[in-house]
Every structure is written in structure tokens, then in C-alpha cells.
Chain A
């Protein structure tokens, strides 16, 4: 495990400005039984080009944190900067691409038209959109499905379309909220390998929410471990498995991968024990 602060792998780094910088973030929800502290004192920095996973048990606020970075929700207090601008501004600037657990494709549009949706909304011309969607569908290996409709595709294929759509505007930051959560294990591993390749090819920073330890270990430069009630960051584990783009299925049987998995698991367990007073 590396302990250095410069976590961005060589060749992917952008100079200076971090992709995401969260400082002293709190989020309180008003529910029927009063106030619920969803997130407390979150600090998080994601370097340009870095792949960071947020992992933790249900209710630790990992999705909420991602949604706050995306400006889909507002923090109660604290600061969020995306490439040096405020989260709302970053959203308006389309600084990030986003994918959710549900692919969320529009059923009345073809696969290609779904990928082109953000481009269409932002006034990109038809021929340019066509070129870009062809490129992206090639990237996710779905070229021959361009004219199909989403319900003719499997869950894994739909999710690949959603990833292609998230990449449409060449974002330097990709926000992913359990994008493979609804897929079976086999498909899931294949998607992880593909995402590792895609994220390296695009050079985008990724904030990836998951509750799978092996998924976090396989994909990430760093894994941010969170604990629930209130949601906090307990530990950050640096996987030290080399550049994300060079990770292949062989890594899944590599002792270093198991070490990373163990480290994350122990951090998770320490984190949930930490709720009863134990320090990490």
C-alpha cells in the first residue's frame, strides 16, 4: 500500500486543480421523526484523472455525497468545489458526466439517440452528434445496436449505453452511483474491466459509489471507506494496484488484489465498529 499523497497515476494527471474538493460537508435531512444527520464533516479530494470509490454500508450517505457533488442535492453546510468552481456552476458548465444504478434510458429513443441526448440538449449539430454517438457506441462495444430500442437490450448493455451517454460531452469527471448494482456477477466483472479501460482512455476522474469491496478494489486508485449514522469518512485505502487502465481480469487472481480487498474489508469493519466507539 502506498502512503504518498500524490495519488494520481502518471500520465493521467491534470495540473493543479483537483476534480473534486469537498471540505467540512454536512447534510441533514428532515424526516418524519425529526432531523437525520446523513453526512457529517466530510472532507474529500479527488485529483484530476483519479479513480476514487466511495464504499460503505447502506445509509452511510455515499450516494448522497455523490448527489451533492453533482448538485442534485444541496449540502446543509460545507463547501464543494468541482474543478475549482462551485457545484451548481459545475453542473451548469456540464463539468461532469453521470450514471445511476438504473440506466435511465428513454424508452422511446433509439440507443444512438439516447447517447446523443445530452449533446442534443446542449445544441450540438446533428452530424456531429452522429459521429460522437458512433464513437461512443464503439467504445462500449455496442455499435451494431445503435438503431435498437433500450428494451431490446440486456441490463448490462443498457448500462453500457448509459455510460456512453455519460461520456458524450467528454467530461473530465465521471460520477457513478452504483452503476453495476443491478447486474449479475459475471456481467458485473466484465463491466468493471470495461470501465477500467474506458476511464483510462478518456482520462476522466471518476467518483464511483459502490457497496462491493472487490469492485472498489479492482477499479480504484483510492477507496474512501464510510460509516453510517452519521455518514462519515472513516479511512481511505490506497489500492496500489497500478494504473487503472492496465487492470485486466488477471488482476482478480493477483495476491496484491486480495491484499487490497482485505485492507478495504478491515477498514469497513473497523468503520462499523467505530460507531460504537472504537477509533481507526
Chain B
């Protein structure tokens, strides 16, 4: 209890103090909303548009989730193939490294024309590719961490490849896979949201942010930003919870 209070209280206090200073600065200096809206104005917009915010967050969140699931499944599956087949490994790893350098959201406009501008698919693909890279690289790295003594043991036990994979290689890789997924969880939201900046169907948080700015509703734009932060946080915390649960020891 005391520990929680000591760890949670200081950042909360700091946050509140920052908000108060922000509010005071905007009010006292009469800063125009165009430059920086006050926290109270943002809060008022957030409350007023809450149902719209939620539905927009659901649209963006769904795109991110679809991308996260597909990208992760592909990332883990291909890493497994690469770890087991040297040829495939040598083919893919440089390509994935190159993929990591490409700003993937930059593909969004191209993908819109590919999939048709009125579908969410392009955004899901963008999110999926962004997710694929860290999941693939971390999983592959994890699959390479098997200790020589464990490899010797598996050979001494005449274990099949499948048995060695299940008893030693995968459990060793597990923390690495979850690190990849945790990074991917916030990336998926960022990718899905930023992809909306480049056009495509309306309805997500990204489109509302650009629309609000275009309509000079700066406080409302900020309330959408706030919703984006919350959405990203939910994804991250969910991934963290899954990780904690999965890595928690249970007597076999």
C-alpha cells in the first residue's frame, strides 16, 4: 500500500501540477487556441464529443488490432521458418532489415489506390507491416538464444526437432517474443492512426484530428489526440498484461 502510494502518487501530482501551470499560462497570457488550447477547453470538447471519440477510437483500434494480430502471427511464423531453414533465413533477414528502415506509413497512399480508397484494409495492412518487423526480428533473435548445453542435452536424449523446439527453443525464445509483441502493440496504433492522415475513409481518430485542425477546432483536435493516447496506452497495457501472465511461473 505504502509502496503503491510512493510510486503512484509522485507522477500523478506532477501531472496535476503541470496541468494547473498549463491552464494558468494559457489564461494569464491569453494564448490563442490556435497556438495552445487550455486543458479545460480540451476537457470540455472531450466530454461533449465523447460518443464520437469512442466510435472513432473503435475504428482506429479495430484497424490496429487486425494489423497487430495478422502481423504478429506472420512475424512469429516466418521467424520459426527462418530459424529452421538457413536458406530462408539468409533470404529474408536482409529484406526485413530493409523493411524496418522504410517509413511504412508512407506506403499508405499507394495502398489506398491498391485496395480502394473506401476500405479500411490499407490501414490494417500498414499496421500489420509495422507490427511484423519487430515481432519477426525479436522472435528470430529469441530462437537463437538456445544455450549450447541445452542443445547437447537434446541431442543426448535423441530428442526430435519438434521436441527440442517445444521443450527448449520456444521457451527460451518466449521472453523475446513478448518483447517484440509489446513494442508492436503501440506501433500498431501509431501506424493505423497515422495511415489515416493520408486519406481513405473517414471515421477514425486520425481523420478526425486532421478534419478538426482543418476546421480550426483546435481544442477538439487535441481531444482526439487525447483519445489516441488512451488507445495506445490500452494496447500497450494489454500486451504487458498478456506478457506478465504468460511469463508467470506455473508448476508444470
What is the interface of chain A, defined by CB distance below 8 A to chain B? Answer: 67, 70-72, 91-92, 94, 96, 98, 100, 102, 104, 106, 108-110, 113, 117-118, 120-122, 147, 149
Contact = CB atoms under 8 A, between A and B. Distances in A.
* Chain B interface size, under 10 / 10 to 19 / 20 to 34 / 35 or more: 10 to 19
Interface in B130-166: 147, 149-150, 152-153, 155-159, 163
Given A92-B158, A121-B167, 16 more contacts: A67-B152, A91-B155, A98-B156, A100-B149, A100-B152, A102-B147, A104-B152, A106-B171, A108-B249, A113-B251, A113-B252, A117-B167, A120-B167, A121-B159, A121-B163, A149-B249
A113 B252 CA distance: 7
B168 interface: yes
Contacts of A149: 249
Q: Tell me if B's interface is mostly helix, strand, loop or mixed.
A: helix
Contact of B157 (A67, A110, A122): A122
Interface in B19-41: none
B157 A121 contact: yes
A106 B159 contact: no
6 contacts: A67-B152, A94-B157, A98-B156, A104-B149, A104-B152, A121-B167
A101 B163 CA distance: 24
A106 B157 contact: no
Nearest to A122: B157
A91 B167 CA distance: 19
Nearest to B171: A108
A72 B252 contact: no
Contacts of B171: 106, 108
A277 B150 CA distance: 41
Contacts of A110: 251-252
